[in-house]
Amino acid sequence: MNTRFTGIKLGPPIEVFALQKTFVDDPHDNKVNLTIGAYRTNEGKPWVLPVVRKVEKLLAADDLQNHEYLPVLGLDAFSEAATSMLLGPNSPVIAQGRAFGIQSLSGTGALRVAAEFLSRILHYDTFYYSIPSWENHRLVFTNGGFKQAREYTYWDEKTRSINLEGMLNDLRDAPENAVIILHSCAHNPTGCDPTPEQWTKIADVIQEKRLFPLFDSAYQGFASGDLDKDAYAVRLFAERGIEFISTQSFAKNFGLYNERVGNIVFVLTDTKELVEAKSQLTLIVRGMYSNPPNHGARIVATVLRNPELFEEWKDHIRTMSSRIKQMRVGLHHRLLKLGTPGTWEHIIQQIGMFSYTGLNEKQVQHLRDNYHIYMLRSGRINMCGLNESNLDYVANAFNETIKLFQEEQNDCTC
C-alpha cells in the first residue's frame, strides 16, 4: 500500500543519545559511560538531591497543590527566584526593574523561545556559536528562524586553551546585531572558560560592534560550587549596561534532567518596552506549547526561596563539583604515573562536567571497541562517569590506546 510518508530521508542520529543507548545495550561488565552530561555518584548511580526529595515529599503532602494550568509565562515565584540567582540578590538591574525572567522548558526550550523572539520580533538573522560548541545550539537557532549560522573561533588545539585573539577577531568581523551565543561558565564541550580579563575584552568588542550577547547558563553552581563565581560573566555584562538574554537550565545543578526546568532572563537598558516584549513572548509560548509544567519549577522555587533549603542545596552543589574535581585530579595523576605520552595539565585546569581530552576519533573508537569506554567522537568525556572503581581501568585504557597509536605512527613508513 502507498503511504504519504514515502521518501522521507533518514535524519542523522543525535550522537549523545545514540551513544547512551549503545552503552545501555552493551552487556560488557567493565563498560564505562562518559557520554551524556548527567551527574553520577561515586557508585556510578544517578543522584536525586536530598533537598529535592524532601521538597517532593512536602509537595505530595500539601493539599493546596493541584494540577491547574500555570500562566503562559510560568510560575512567577520561580522565575523571580531564578533571575535573582543569576543576576545576584542585590542586582541593580533587578532593583531598577530592568530585568525579568520567564519560565521555559529547561535550557533548550529557553534557547528556542529566545531564538524565535530575536528572529521574529527583533528581526535579527545572524547568530554565532563557538567552535566547538554544544552541538544543539545550531539546530535550535536555525529552527528558531535564524537564516545565517556562523562560527567563532574558541579553542586552540595545540595549547588546549582558548584562542582569545581568534575569538575577538571573529567577533570584530561580525555584522551589527549578530547574536553571539556565549557559555556563561563551564563551556561545553571544552571545560575551558575565559578569565575575568578575557571576559572584559569580549564585552568590549560586543559593545563596540553592537552585537547581541546571549548567555547559555547551564551549570551555575555546578561548575565551581559557587553560585556567584559561576555568574561572573553575566553579572559583568549587566554592570556594564549591555542588553542581553540569558537562558538558564536547572537540569544539572538540581539534578532535574527530565523535569525540564528553565528560565529566560532578559536584561534591558530601560523599562519602556518591557510590557510589549512580554506580550510577544506570551504569544510565542502560547503558539509553541501554551504553558510550562509545574512540578520541577515548584521544587526549584521552594528551595531558592527558603533560606534553610537554599543552604542545603548549596551544600549539594559543592558535593557535586568537588567530586568532579577529585576525578580530574585522579585521572591526571594516573596518566602521569603511567607515563602516558602528551601533556595532561588541561584535565585539571578545565572546569565543570566535561573534559575535552584531546583524544582523536580513532582513539575514541578504539576505546569503545576494545575497552567498552564510551565518549563523544570529539574526545569529550563526562567527568561524572568516572569513580574510584573505574579510574584505574579508564586511565590504563587511555594510556594503552595512546601508546598503541603512537607506535603505529612511528611504524608508518609512508
Least distance from C-beta 37 to ligand LMR, angstroms? 3
Q: Environment class of residue 195 by beta-carbon count within 10 Å: exposed (0-12), middle (13-18) or buried (19+)?
A: exposed
Nearer to ligand LMR, 194 or 352 (CB): 352
226 is catalytic: no
Are 261 and 250 in contact, with CB atoms under 8 Å apart?
A: yes
* 378 binds ligand LMR, rule: CB under 6 A: no
Q: Which residues pair with 355 in a beta bridge?
A: 381
Nearer to ligand LMR, 37 or 144 (CB): 37
Nearer to ligand LMR, 183 or 332 (CB): 183
Nearer to ligand LMR, 98 or 368 (CB): 368
Least distance from C-beta 124 to ligand LMR, angstroms? 24
Q: Environment class of residue 352 by beta-carbon count within 10 Å: exposed (0-12), middle (13-18) or buried (19+)?
A: buried
- CA distances to 80, 109, 136, 164, 258 from 204, rounded to whole Å, are 29, 29, 27, 13, 38
Type of residue numbered 65 = Q
Count, in order, helices (H) and strands (E) of the chain.
16, 13
9 is catalytic: no
Nearer to ligand LMR, 126 or 246 (CB): 246
Type of residue numbered 336 = L
Nearer to ligand LMR, 174 or 251 (CB): 251
Q: Where are the beta strands (DSSP E) in 218-258?
A: 244-249
* 139 binds ligand LMR, rule: CB under 6 A: no
Closest of 99, 95, 183 to residue 136, by C-alpha: 183
* 16 binds ligand LMR, rule: CB under 6 A: yes
Say what angle helices 391-411 and 307-337 make with each other, to 10 degrees: 40
Q: Is the peptide bond before 27 cis (omega within 30 degrees of 0)?
A: no
Query: Which position's Cβ is nearest ligand LMR?
Result: 37
* 213 binds ligand LMR, rule: CB under 6 A: no
Question: What x/- string results for residues 228 through 267 when contact with ligand LMR is judged by CB under 6 A?
Answer: ----------------------------------------
The only residue of 129, 134, 141, 398 in contact with ligand LMR, by rule CB under 6 A: 134
- CA distances to 347, 369, 378, 381 from 362, rounded to whole Å, are 20, 10, 10, 15
Least distance from C-beta 99 to ligand LMR, angstroms? 25
Are 261 and 49 in contact, with CB atoms under 8 Å apart?
A: no
**Integer Cα distance of 253 and 314 in angstroms:** 9
CA 381 to chain centroid: 14
252 is catalytic: yes
Question: What x/- string results for residues 180 through 199 when contact with ligand LMR is judged by CB under 6 A?
Answer: --------x-----------
Least distance from C-beta 341 to ligand LMR, angstroms? 28
- Of 47, 134, 155, 199, which is the active-site residue? 134
Least distance from C-beta 16 to ligand LMR, angstroms? 5
Are 199 and 242 in contact, with CB atoms under 8 Å apart?
A: no
Nearer to ligand LMR, 258 or 410 (CB): 258
- Of 155, 193, 199, 216, which is the active-site residue? 216
* 374 binds ligand LMR, rule: CB under 6 A: no
With CB under 6 A as the rule, give the number of residues binding ligand LMR: 5
Question: What x/- string results for residues 17 through 36 when contact with ligand LMR is judged by CB under 6 A?
Answer: -------------------x
C-alpha cell at 134: 554544544
* 352 binds ligand LMR, rule: CB under 6 A: no
- Of 155, 252, 313, 344, which is the active-site residue? 252
Give the CA angle between residues 288, 290, 294 to the nearest 5°. Answer: 120
Are 380 and 189 in contact, with CB atoms under 8 Å apart?
A: yes
Least distance from C-beta 325 to ligand LMR, angstroms? 19
* 37 binds ligand LMR, rule: CB under 6 A: yes
Give the CA angle between residues 20, 25, 28 to the nearest 5°. Answer: 105
Least distance from C-beta 172 to ligand LMR, angstroms? 29
| Ramachandran assignment for 106, one of left (phi > 0), alpha (psi -120 to 50 degrees), beta (any other) | left
Nearer to ligand LMR, 36 or 236 (CB): 36
Catalytic residues: 134, 216, 252
Contact residues for ligand LMR (CB under 6 A)?
16, 36-37, 134, 188
